């Protein structure tokens, strides 16, 4: 057990019962020429955190903290995509449409794949999720049960959507949640800041927030 310097107070990290969840580091959200960029988002903001996410993954691998990756994607027949989700967004480019990197957010298409810099290594779990949260309609919970995990460290994109949703799902399931503030990003800086503040508010109502450096120091 080692305390991580965190907001709103130190996080009591127990590496034997912790896992890192890396949310949706997919080409369609991060790369120029992907779905996110085609919607007019500034993907350079997300690209800037890639070395930090890679560092956090490396630190966790070295400390034998399991690394679990997620991808937001759907089956090719869209049977797991509720019309309410598909019909929102830009009418000219919806989930399942042919986009700049194959069909948008469809399992197996190039754009749905994880970027090479943080690609999973053999033995790491990859959770394909049809929702924003990684617990809804996935096999994440039994994997965490099997590994005896009680604490979750979070990284990935985007902070206020899939990261925050998954942290809230995890918090409600009793996990202690720690977000790496410099290993997560949003297309909208003000949304990222608000999400970090919301998570740590009211005595860690959703969880804790710490830098990758402080997490690395505690795991060293």
Residues catalogued as catalytic: 24, 129, 162
Asked whether position 157 contacts ligand C5J by CB under 6 A, the answer is yes
User: Interface with ligand C5J by CB under 6 A: which range of 57-65, 141-149, 155-163, 193-201?
Assistant: 155-163
d(CA 183, CA 206): 18
Q: End-to-end distance of the chain based on CA atoms, in angstroms?
A: 12
Beta carbon of residue 63, minimum distance to ligand C5J (angstroms, whole number) = 26
- Segment 181-220, which members bind ligand C5J (CB under 6 A)? none
Fill in the DSSP letter of residue 117.
G
Nearer to ligand C5J, 72 or 113 (CB): 72
What is the nearest approach in angstroms of ligand C5J to the Cβ of residue 195? 11
| Dihedral of alpha carbons 109, 20, 131, 36, sign | negative
CA distance 114 to 16: 26
CB 18 within 8 A of CB 152: yes
Q: Which is nearer to ligand C5J, 66 or 191 (CB)?
A: 191
Number of amino acids touching ligand C5J (CB under 6 A):
7
| Per CB under 6 A, 169 contacts ligand C5J | no
Told to check if 24 binds ligand C5J by CB under 6 A, we report: yes
Does a cis peptide bond (omega within 30 degrees of 0) precede residue 8?
Answer: yes
Of 7-15, 47-55, 110-118, 154-162, the segment contacting ligand C5J by CB under 6 A is 154-162
Backbone φ, ψ for residue 23 (5° rounding) = -90, 120
* Single residue of 158, 181, 184, 211 touching ligand C5J by CB under 6 A: 158
The dihedral through the CA atoms of 8, 13, 19, 20 has a sign that is positive
- Interface residue list for ligand C5J (CB under 6 A): 24, 29, 72, 157-158, 161-162
């Amino acid at each position: 057990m080692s305390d991580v310097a965190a907001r709103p107070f130190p996080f009591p990290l127990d590496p034997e019962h912790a896992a890192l969840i890396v949310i949706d580091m997919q080409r369609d959200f991060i790369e120029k020429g992907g779905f996110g960029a085609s919607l007019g988002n500034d993907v350079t903001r997300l690209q800037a955190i890639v070395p930090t996410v890679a560092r956090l993954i490396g630190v966790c691998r070295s400390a034998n903290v399991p690394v679990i990756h997620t991808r937001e994607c759907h089956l090719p027949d869209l049977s797991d995509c509720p019309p309410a989700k598909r019909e929102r967004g830009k009418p000219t480019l919806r989930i399942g449409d042919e986009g700049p990197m194959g069909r948008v957010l469809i399992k197996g298409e190039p754009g749905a794949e994880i970027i090479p810099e943080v690609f999973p290594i053999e033995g790491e779990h990859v959770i394909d999720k049809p929702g924003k949260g990684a617990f809804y309609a996935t096999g994440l919970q039994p994997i965490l049960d099997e590994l005896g995990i009680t604490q979750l460290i979070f990284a990935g994109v985007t902070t206020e959507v899939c990261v925050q949703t998954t942290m809230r799902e995890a918090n409600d399931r009793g996990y202690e949640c720690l977000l790496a503030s410099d290993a997560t990003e949003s297309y909208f800086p003000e949304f990222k800041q608000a999400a970090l503040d919301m998570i740590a508010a009211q005595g860690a109502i959703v969880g804790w927030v710490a830098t990758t450096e402080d997490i690395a120091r505690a795991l060293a």
